[in-house]
Amino acid sequence: MSSIFALIDCNNFFVSCERIFRPELNNKPVVVLSSNDGCVVSRSNEAKALGIPMGAPAFKYKPVFKSQGVVQFSANFELYGDISQRIVKALTRIIPKIEVYSVDESFLELSSLGIKDYTVWGQAVRYSILKSVGVPVAIGIAPSKTLAKVATERAKKNPNIDDVLDLQSLSPEARAPYLLQTPISDIWGVGWRIAPKLKAEGIYNALDLSYMRPKHAQSLMGIHGRQMVAELNGQSCLPLFIEGKQRQTIMHGRMFGEDTSNFAVIEAAIASLSARAAKQLRVDKLLAKRAVVYLSTNKHKPGYRKFSFAVNFLTPSNDSGVLSKELIKAARASFSAGIDIHRANVLFYDLASENGLQIDITGDVDLSQLFRSKARFEAVDSINERYGKSTIHLAAEDLSKVWQPKKELKSPSYTTEWHELPILKT
């Protein structure tokens, strides 16, 4: 039996989460800013209509926010994470096997459900999530995941479609107008690298791409391109991905509250970012073999500069102490004083599974050190879990004001902290 995919995609997810507990903000322009209020990461439809772009730097748009009465929130990731899990839980009651693709998107495979009318089914799911969790979703249904993604995009952008689009029941000819409306940059898997190449070939939308000869697509974009063309023609190449996929990279970054050239502050930032990345590695039972530190000045000020320092770890590690020490060493060696740093990122890559390490080792890995630090950090993580995130931290992790994210506009952790529950007046 051939597959039938549904993509459930939350509309303006972060904004929608905020609106659950602030119903008066329905129909008002609302934006959510990244965790230190740097740029816009989610916009309500009303905010989009005001011409506020995704990623807009908040300081540039403050006048617009003020004159148009745009309500701003700092990102409340505890809330968004919880709401995301609620939606996943609700969807797994429809069908247990789902692919959680991102915080606000999940794929379902429907062929076993014997659904007669996919639009009716989609509307029922949409209503149920809106009523029970409180978040509006768009749903696209199609014979491949790439087409389901196209359907969801069209359902969201086309005002004549009521948030649910069934491409499954349509003939290829009837699907064509929707593909025509989808610019190539909106197609799943077409990145900013490939898009110009395709445009150079005269391919501007999903319909053009679906007509591409598979061989030509492969020569241009590899096997991935060939699959994309097949998927747009309704042949499923990408199955539902149920098993947790091993992450390839871990990236953490923050903007400084104020630009700084003080290496002690930068060092503290690197330590703190490494500690968070290391925690994530330990949770996922992974070890990092390589890392890069990126430091950059303010993009919006003249003389924008970027620096990066690469590190190879002799012994793959998820030990905050080891990771941050090496990164700080590399940064200190090449950092030139007197430059105001705006942002720091750390990227860990070439990740190996803790369990797979025995196979990977080449003889220069000190296993006893590895297991000692593993035991130590399991203790640290469990204490931090119980008593709050930074009860125990490395000495270099600085908690000074400069470094703390600005969270002036953050909503309460309504669903994740006992002392921040929403108030019900009598």
Partner 1 sequence: MNNDFQPIIESDAVSVHSGFPNPAADRKLPALALDLNQLIVQHPSSTYLFRIAGHNWSDQGIFDGDIAVIDRGAIEGPNDLVVIWQNNDFKIARSKHLQPEEKPWGKVSAVIHQF
Where do contacts with partner 1 occur on this chain (CB under 8 A)? 23-24, 86-87, 89-90, 93, 128, 131-134, 414-415, 421-426
Antiparallel, parallel or unpaired: β 5-10 and 137-142? antiparallel
Q: Least distance from C-beta 127 to partner 1, angstroms?
A: 11
CA–CA gap between residue 133 and residue 131 (Å, rounded): 6
Q: Within 13 Å and on the Cβ side, how many CA atoms surround 105?
A: 15
Nearer to partner 1, 21 or 263 (CB): 21
Nearer to partner 1, 17 or 286 (CB): 17
Nearer to partner 1, 274 or 411 (CB): 411
Query: Hey, what are 67's tokens?
Result: 């004159």
Sequence-ordered strand ranges (E) for 297-396: 306-317, 341-353
Q: Least distance from C-beta 425 to partner 1, angstroms?
A: 5
Q: What angle do CA 233, 190, 223 make, to 5 degrees?
A: 65
CB 296 within 8 A of CB 269: no
CB 7 within 8 A of CB 140: yes
Beta-carbon count within 10 A of 103 CB: 18
Antiparallel, parallel or unpaired: β 286-296 and 30-33? unpaired
Q: 66 φ, ψ to 5°?
A: -70, -50
End-to-end CA distance of the chain: 56
| SS3 state at 339 | coil
Q: Least distance from C-beta 172 to partner 1, angstroms?
A: 37
Q: Least distance from C-beta 125 to partner 1, angstroms?
A: 13
Nearer to partner 1, 245 or 419 (CB): 419
Q: Least distance from C-beta 98 to partner 1, angstroms?
A: 13
CA–CA gap between residue 132 and residue 124 (Å, rounded): 12
Antiparallel, parallel or unpaired: β 249-260 and 105-109? unpaired
CA–CA gap between residue 90 and residue 372 (Å, rounded): 41
Amino acid at 366: D
Q: Least distance from C-beta 21 to partner 1, angstroms?
A: 8
Query: Hey, what are 260's tokens?
Result: 């700084």
CA–CA gap between residue 20 and residue 224 (Å, rounded): 39
Nearer to partner 1, 93 or 386 (CB): 93
Q: Least distance from C-beta 416 to partner 1, angstroms?
A: 10
Q: Is 240 exposed, middle or buried (0-12, 13-18, 19+ CB in 10 A)?
A: middle
Q: Least distance from C-beta 110 to partner 1, angstroms?
A: 20
Q: Least distance from C-beta 76 to partner 1, angstroms?
A: 15
Nearer to partner 1, 135 or 155 (CB): 135
Nearer to partner 1, 116 or 131 (CB): 131
Nearer to partner 1, 249 or 416 (CB): 416
Nearer to partner 1, 360 or 420 (CB): 420
Q: Least distance from C-beta 71 to partner 1, angstroms?
A: 13
Angle formed by the axes of helices 320-334 and 367-387, nearest 10°: 100
CB 129 within 8 A of CB 121: no
